Amino acid sequence: MKKRVVSMLLSAAMAVSLLSGCGGGNAAKTSDGEAAAVSTETSEDGGEAETSAPAASSEAGDPVKLKALFIAHALTKDVNEMQWLAEVEAEANVEIEWEVIRADWETVKSTRFAAGDVPDLLFNATVDEDYTKYNGLFLDMTPYLTEELTPNILTMFEEEPDTKVLATTMEGKIYATPKFQGKWPSTNTIMFINQEWLDNLGLEMPTTFTEFKEVLKAFKEQDANGNGDPGDEIPFDYNAYGGNNAWFNSAYSLTNLLGSLGIQLTNWGTDAYFAEDSQVKCYAVDERYKLFMKYLADLYAEGLINPNALTNDYSAFQSLSRGNEAGEAVVGCVFGWEETDKFGPELYSQYKPVPALEYDIDCEPGTYDKRWRDDYTGLNMSSNRVCLSANCADPEAAMRFIDRFYDQTHSVESLFGGVTDGCIEVTGDNSYKVLDPLDPNTDAGTWKWTSTFADNGPMYIRRASEIEMAQDMTYALEERKAYDDVIAKASVSDTYPQMFMKYTEEDRNTMALTQANINNIIDNQWSLWMTGEQDIDSTWDAYVESVNNAGLPQILEIRQAAFDEYLKSAK
């Protein structure tokens, strides 16, 4: 039977009746929901009749018909056109009726879940809190994680134990399988500098904060781009606009430089928390943050930081790095993911990575153990790639289907596109090549999102697999060699991977309410200091007191308890 895709936009979602699949109707009668990873869990007593005895299912005979929901990227093509996906279904002896939603899922999710409207499988559709909030709606997978049904998933859990930690709740249940795409780099962020400008002005690559300031001053004053206008250069740009406390949750914020003061940042979106000697701390009240803000205020006062970055959205941030209408570079130094993505095809060759700087303001270089942000877990792992309805009529067939995504080749196809779709080539028993886009007008990154599940899919990309990447990823991996030695200094005791922390529902609720108050204070203060509207020295103590009064000690206590538990499993 030909598979069917239901493409939903918000207006359509609100107009049609609730779509109920095998898992539709009333929620299951178990009461075991809890959350994992970034959020929290709760433990509730209740029966487990639905999960303790796996239903019978056979790979032989007619295909098992299942319904699946996939929350896809806006660019992703019709899943029925993905030949590799049809091959996965055939191997698992299932026939999937796909429902694809490309926009506004968060708007309609609560209505659907509250009504028990859950198909057999949900891809990229849930977060940890859902398993508690919609208690009994989702299947505990643990009875079905067997060598017979899920050999690939079990291999991932064995070879990459953090994936199992990520997927498992405080009570030892697994409601969704995670992903591991072990070929992504160890940091999301590069600090790029215009090497051509350095050469034009006879300058060396800066190695300290003092040298960096002198370079930025030269960029501002000496017509670094050589177009005859000494005032059109922007020495230093960054991105911290867009809400959601982007100052310390943005991958391209100036806070990346905090590593030079010995603060080991891990991933992004951690609300200013870090670990040091096994202790969870908040850098926004650390004395080193005060030193850092004073340095930024000095740069800003001398016109070395783009003042418009305070209000520029991400699009403007990207556009500025692509140069002016004449095709000339106008940004001297900026944070970004990869050179061709950041600067475009005409300018990218002008820029080189800046190695981690030494902090030397009123102290000797080497006073602080310089670091750079370690994003490996955040870039290579994600939770909740696919889960099951508690009412699924054939969970064995569903689990068999899920496991095929974690096959070595199918994992590469899930990320980059299919072999038979012309997206990748198998070059050996353990090696693959990402092919050029079939659309010559599309870059490799966009093509990936167009052709397959991409980063939204379940997968296990083995570390041992050899993948010849497209140009953008080849550049991204090469650029990050400038930070390899510094990132390698990060140890378990000073790495705070928030995504692995487990909390009770009570703690999660406390944190949500209290953190919002803390973030409001921190996010409203930094720009006042940087722009000189308030003096840092005269207001620092009152600021720290207000953050503490907002509940920071309580949050640190909760986070410390969760971190201590994580360290037990990580060591």
Last residue of a domain, one of 373, 389, 420: 373
My answer on whether 455 and 513 are in the same domain is no
Which ranges of 168-286 would DSSP assign to H, the alpha helix? 195-200, 209-221, 246-249
Question: Does 544 reside within a domain?
Answer: yes
Spatial strand order in the sheet of 460-461: 5-8, 94-101, 64-71, 121-123, 381-388, 176-181, 460-461
Question: Does 480 reside within a domain?
Answer: no
pLDDT of residue 442: 87
> Cβ distance 557 to 282 under 8 Å?
no
> Cβ distance 22 to 67 under 8 Å?
yes
pLDDT of residue 159: 97
My answer on whether 348 and 392 are in the same domain is no
My answer on whether 516 and 552 are in the same domain is yes
Question: Does 477 reside within a domain?
Answer: no
My answer on whether 44 and 143 are in the same domain is yes
My answer on whether 369 and 405 are in the same domain is no
My answer on whether 17 and 105 are in the same domain is yes
Cα 224–230–234 angle (5° rounding)?
A: 65
My answer on whether 202 and 272 are in the same domain is yes
Question: Does 449 reside within a domain?
Answer: yes
Last residue of a domain, one of 448, 468, 488: 468
Cα separation, 238 vs 255, in Å, equals: 10
pLDDT of residue 50: 37
Cα separation, 362 vs 210, in Å, equals: 10
CA gyration radius, the chain: 25
Question: Does 237 reside within a domain?
Answer: yes
My answer on whether 147 and 34 are in the same domain is yes
Question: Does 492 reside within a domain?
Answer: no
Q: Which structural domain range is residue 337 located in? A: 190-373
My answer on whether 118 and 84 are in the same domain is yes
Question: Does 59 reside within a domain?
Answer: yes
What is the dihedral sign for C-alpha 473, 479, 482, 483? negative
Strands (E) across 55-135 are located at 64-71, 94-101, 121-123
How many domains would you assign to the chain? 3
Cα separation, 250 vs 238, in Å, equals: 10
> Cβ distance 384 to 376 under 8 Å?
no
DSSP 264: -
Cα separation, 462 vs 36, in Å, equals: 24
pLDDT of residue 249: 79
My answer on whether 216 and 93 are in the same domain is no
My answer on whether 354 and 278 are in the same domain is yes
Last residue of a domain, one of 451, 468, 485: 468
pTM, two decimals, is 0.83
Q: Which long-range contacts (CB under 8 A, 24 or more apart) does 182-185 make?
A: 182/380, 182/461, 182/462, 182/463, 182/465, 183/380, 183/461, 183/463, 183/465, 183/467, 183/469, 183/473, 184/376, 184/379, 184/380, 185/375, 185/376, 185/379, 185/476, 185/477, 185/480
pLDDT of residue 170: 87
My answer on whether 73 and 207 are in the same domain is no
Q: Output the domain CATH number for residue 221.
A: 3.40.190.10
One digit per residue, the tens of pLDDT, for the chain of length 571 reads 434 333 333 333 333 333 333 333 333 322 233 322 322 233 333 333 333 334 444 456 899 999 999 999 999 999 999 999 999 999 999 999 999 999 999 999 999 999 999 999 999 999 998 998 999 999 999 999 999 999 999 999 999 999 999 999 988 999 999 999 999 999 999 999 999 999 999 999 999 999 999 999 999 999 999 999 999 999 999 998 654 456 877 889 999 999 999 999 999 878 899 999 999 999 999 999 999 999 999 999 999 999 999 988 888 999 999 999 999 999 999 999 999 999 999 999 999 999 999 999 999 999 999 999 999 999 999 999 999 999 998 999 999 999 999 999 999 999 999 999 999 999 999 999 999 999 988 888 889 999 999 999 999 999 999 999 998 899 999 999 999 999 999 999 999 999 999 998 899 899 999 999 999 999 889 999 999 999 999 999 999 999 999 999 999 999 999 999 999 887 6
Question: Does 427 reside within a domain?
Answer: yes
Q: Which residues of 218-245 are buried (b: 16+ CB within 10 A; e: fewer)?
A: bbbeebbbeeeeeeebbbbbbbbbeeeb
pLDDT of residue 31: 27
